[in-house]
Amino acid sequence: MTIQGIQDKIREGDYGFSEHAVKRMIKRAISRKEVEEAVLQGEIIEEYPKDKYSPSCLVHGKTEKGRDLHVQVSLPPVVVVITAYDPDPKEWIDFKIRR
C-alpha cells in the first residue's frame, strides 16, 4: 500500500467524507483544507487491510500551519475520509508510533 494513490485522488478532488468524519471534523475544528494538506504531505503510519467496511489506512501529516493530524482513509479506487483527529502525544511517539 502506498500513499501515492490516495494523494492523487485528493489532488484531483476525487474523494469524499463519511458522515462520521464530518461530525468529528466539526467537533474538532478540522477543516477540509487541513485534511487535504495533511494527506498531501503525509505518510501512512498504520494499515487496516481488514477494516470494517473496506481496507483503509491511517495517515500522519502536518498542515501548512504545522498542525499534526491523523486522517484515516479508505483505499483507492474509492477514497473516503473515515475520520480525522489531533493525535494525543501521550498515545503516540512522534505522532507516528503507538506507545
SS (H, E, C) the chain: CCHHHHHHHHHHCCEEECHHHHHHHHHHCCCHHHHHHHHHCCEEEEEECCCCCCCEEEEEEECCCCCEEEEEEECCCCEEEEEEECCCCCCEECCCEEC
Nearest to 72 by CA among 61, 64, 92: 61
Q: Is residue 24 very low, low, confident or very high in pLDDT (cuts 50, 70, 90)?
A: very high
Q: What is the pTM for the complete model shown?
A: 0.95
Q: What is the pLDDT of residue 4?
A: 97
Q: Check whether 2 has a pLDDT greater than 90.
A: no
- Contact at 8 Å (CB) between 1 and 47? yes
What is the Cα–Cα distance from 20 to 22, expressed in whole angstroms? 6
Segment 33-88, tens digit of pLDDT: 999 999 999 999 999 999 988 999 999 999 999 999 999 999 989 999 999 999 99
Q: What is the pLDDT of residue 1?
A: 67
